[in-house]
Structure 1
Amino acid sequence: MSKIFKQLRSRHPFSLVVVGVLLSIVVVLGLRGFWISSASAAQWQSATRVVPEALVARAIASNSSLTSKDPPLDISNVKVMVLGQQAPLYVFDFNTPKLCGAAGCLYVVYAQQGESYQLVLSLYLNRNLPKGIPLIALKDVEQGSKPCLAISQRVSNSNQLSSLLYCEQGNRYQRVNESFSSL
């Protein structure tokens, strides 16, 4: 290998710079795949099949303010994505326009605390993302006792993607970092 580099350096002094840049790009792109853990492959499922019905009912009651004139949310339409295995996080998508607005739709995250569940994050997110970009995924970083969450969002009126990092601080998740990339 060192013979190849010596030959390149003697014939084309700038070729080592080009090779270094290309290797850096390959490494960065390869590491980008490791940025989000294997849990990013988690799929949205019917909440009543995945989590206890009591948690689904609590999530609906705690996160919607429907009046008595509004029909109740259909519990069978609520979707959940389970992130993690040892201390799973339950991400709820209520799958209804009633919990959506100009900022996006309401997503809430619950974590199990002993025998009960606690709301740890509540956000309005726009699910309109490029194919292959997960809305919410686990990040291979831990702060506290739970892994951090990577959340992707399009930046309004631009060709940029915002990557938000939320980590456990106390008994809630807080935003700790934001980075931008071009689409």
Structure 2
Amino acid sequence: MTRAHLPIHSPAQDDALIAQLLGRLSAAGLRRTLATRAVLGVFLARPTLALTHSQVAALLKARGCHVDRVTVYRLLDRFVSADVLARHTDDERQWRFTLVAEGVRGLPDAPRSASPQLHCRVCRRDLPVSTDEAAVHAAFNGLLLALAREGHAVEQVQLHLHGRCADCARRDESGSTTIERTSR
């Protein structure tokens, strides 16, 4: 499988990551079809981008891999179920998908948890929140403990922050630093 070198990983780590992701897909019952490998390749080539269904379909087409939209939708959903991709809703209420790699998943105490992510609304990258891992773990574990005391059984944890990454925030120093509250 051809792919761009993943950031922060050596080629050997890249190969181990790919084997791990393919193992998750196999364990979830997905066959290693051309479409499955091609969709995985799209995310391996862009590990920090959050892509929509349409963007994935367009990137597949640009690579010369013609996969119908229904297959793309089904594969992305199955990749999420297999913990290969994380899904979140962006500011325009579109689903976006990002690669979930074991080395950046974090929060091992939480069931089916992906590492906290910051979605940059300017450059559209999803970046792991890893500034102070101990504080992030403590906050999540405190939340899970509080929910457990109330009798809740948490099955999946996703923390996705929306804003501007450090690079984009530096470029736009005049931007607001207030937190916008949205209700859904």
Instruction: State the TM-score, normalizing by the size of structure 1.
Output: 0.31
- Over alpha carbons, which structure has the higher Rg? 1
Q: Does 1 or 2 have the higher relative contact order (CA < 8 Å, sep 6+)? A: 2
Higher strand share: 1
Higher helix share: 2
Instruction: State the TM-score, normalizing by the size of structure 2.
Output: 0.31
